[in-house]
Structure 1
Amino acid sequence: MSGGVPGGALASNVEATAAPVQRGDVIQLGGRASRVSDLFQLPQGAKQFLFESGELLTMHARTRLAAVRMLRRR
């Protein structure tokens, strides 16, 4: 599902696993949206995400979360 957000940008809801998460993605955790500011590759496909709030999250390769990705206009 895609939709507009304030400012005219397009957003797409995606199921986030550790592999495709990118800087700038917004991950929903406990009803709170957190934007990924940096990420680090860990052994066995896991990743650690640093959020703009300063919090860290480590995701196993098979963990699945709800995320929003901002789509770039061409």
Structure 2
Amino acid sequence: MSALVPGGALASNVEVTAATVRRGDIIQVGGRAFRVGNLFQLSNEAEQLLFESGELLTIHARTRLAAVRMLRRR
């Protein structure tokens, strides 16, 4: 499902893994929404996510998370 948000962006719900997560994705963890600020590749196909608020989350190759991805309209 996609929805228009103010500013001409398109918000889309996506499922992300360590291989598909991107900077800017908004991931809900423990009832709070966190925006991914940076990513660090770890061994064994794992990724460490650094959220804009300073928290870290490490996910492995089989972790699946629901996220909102903002897409710009062209």
TM-score for the superposition, normalised by structure 1: 0.93
Runs (4+) of structure 1 exceeding 4 A deviation are none
CA distance in 1, matches of 2:13, 2:54: 23
**Identity value in percent:** 78
CA distance in 1, matches of 2:73, 2:46: 30
> Gaps spanning 5+ residues in structure 1: where?
none
Matches within 5 A, 1:32-51: 32-51=32-51
Q: By how many angstroms is 1:7 displaced?
A: 2.5
CA distance in 1, matches of 2:25, 2:46: 17
Contact 2:8 2:72 in 1 (8 A): no
Partner of 2:67: 67
| Cα RMSD after superposing both structures | 0.9
> Gaps spanning 5+ residues in structure 2: where?
none
Equivalent pairs counted in the alignment come to 74
Say which SS state the counterpart of residue 43 (structure 1) adopts. Answer: coil
CA distance in 1, matches of 2:73, 2:39: 24
Could you say which structure has the higher strand fraction? 2
Partner of 1:3: 3
TM-score for the superposition, normalised by structure 2: 0.93
